[in-house]
Amino acid sequence: MSETRVSPRERLVLTAIIELYIATGEPVASQAVARFFANREGLSSATIRNVMATLGDAGLLEQPHTSAGRVPTAAAFRYYVEQITQSGRMAVGAQTDALNPMPQSNSLLSPLSEQRREQIDDSFSGVSSTNEYLERTSQVLALLSSGLGVALASATGTQVLEHIHFSRLTAGRVLTVVVTQAGAVLDRVLNLDRDLTHLDLETAARYLNENFRGWPIERIRTEVARRVDMERAAYNQMLASVEELCRKGALTGAESGPTLFVDGMANLIAAELDRERLRQMLLALEAKQRLVELLTAYVDGRQQEVRVVVGLDEASPAMQDLVLIGSSARLGNNSLGTVAVIAPTRIQYQEMIHAVRYIARLSERILEVPTD
């Protein structure tokens, strides 16, 4: 496919077919393409039929039924995405084919409108923490795309201690609540080898909050172990309690899995007619680790550019007709996480690329940039 070359006329017809298919969801006939151009490009129905046949031979169009029109293939969508992202200087997935630039056509699609930007801004009203921003992002992107809105908190962005609290449940069982400076709340139940009293837990929490607020969590565990060895004689009882809690996982937010927000699963259910393929697709998407791996593999957290990947069959064969549009969200020099849309390939590409990009950069406006 990477060696395929299409002529300017073929590009025009291919663009028209893709945009008509996105708009209608129906196979596109040559008469519909002719109406799309309204004779402004000097293309007759016969010429369009010949071009469509050539595009079919090139693997860019397929015909669901003998008497039906044509629909774009995954390769066609990749080609189309490359053209619209090249003009906007946005990064495109490695699966996209590198063909010649496509001239502008009578596009049915448009960039993000002022009305849409205002709608997005209003949707984020009242958001003041990273977790709120990411959770709201998944909801807004699901609504805008009629697909799956996904937001994954950065592993590094959620691991700085703001506050920790311990609560005794029963003998040897303690509830730990860790609040990070990124706004995440991590809770877990610890099963201890020995029972700790309420006073032990209050003392341990006070020690950690007073000494380690603002520390990366993984460094706290190391430092506590070091202090236990150095100061055991002076603080034996208190440090023994802290060590027990840390050893049992009080400060292992990262190991419990990254925070993932997902919204809009019902959108994909409504869009998929093949029940068996739907079942397989949902199994793939409902696996939290699969989604985390998907976002991590395709979106670079170090860059704030939009990534578009058409056809997610490398992640799962059931996801071959899905597209991922994602970007890293940042705050100053820190990565907050990844925001993305996962939707059927028949999506309003230009608008969703601009929406993902806009929301990813919105974090800088609605959250306070930390000072060094």
Phi and psi at 326, nearest 5°, equal: -140, 165
Looking at the structure of the chain, the number of domains it has is 3
CATH number at residue 62: 1.10.10.10
Distance separating alpha carbons of residues 188 and 137, to the nearest angstrom: 25
How high is the pLDDT of residue 277? 67
Q: Within a domain: residue 2?
A: no
Q: Within a domain: residue 105?
A: no
How high is the pLDDT of residue 3? 47
Please report, to the nearest 10 degrees, the dihedral formed by the alpha carbons of residues 32, 35, 41, 47 taken in order.
40
361: which 2 tokens? 């950069």
How high is the pLDDT of residue 238? 57
How high is the pLDDT of residue 55? 93
Q: Please give the DSSP secondary-structure letter assigned to residue 103.
A: P
Residues 182 and 145 in one domain: no
Q: Within a domain: residue 95?
A: no
Residue 269 structural domain: 114-156+258-366
Is residue 121 within 8 A of residue 114, CB to CB? The reply is: no
pTM: 0.67
Q: Within a domain: residue 45?
A: yes
Residues 152 and 284 in one domain: yes
Residues 268 and 243 in one domain: no
Q: Within a domain: residue 42?
A: yes
Per-residue pLDDT of the chain (372 residues; tens, 9 = 90+): 444 577 888 888 999 999 999 888 889 988 888 888 876 666 778 888 899 999 999 999 988 776 678 999 989 998 898 887 765 544 344 333 333 333 343 344 456 788 889 999 999 998 887 778 888 999 999 999 888 898 988 765 446 788 898 888 888 888 888 887 766 677 778 888 888 888 888 888 888 898 888 887 777 877 877 776 666 555 555 566 766 677 666 666 544 456 778 888 777 777 665 666 666 777 766 666 677 877 888 887 667 788 898 888 777 777 788 899 999 888 777 778 899 999 888 888 988 999 999 999 998 888 765 444
How high is the pLDDT of residue 268? 75
Last residue of a domain, one of 26, 60, 79: 79
CATH number at residue 318: 3.30.450.40
How high is the pLDDT of residue 95? 39
Distance separating alpha carbons of residues 182 and 333, to the nearest angstrom: 14
Residues 242 and 311 in one domain: no
How high is the pLDDT of residue 314? 76
Q: Within a domain: residue 355?
A: yes
Q: Within a domain: residue 194?
A: yes
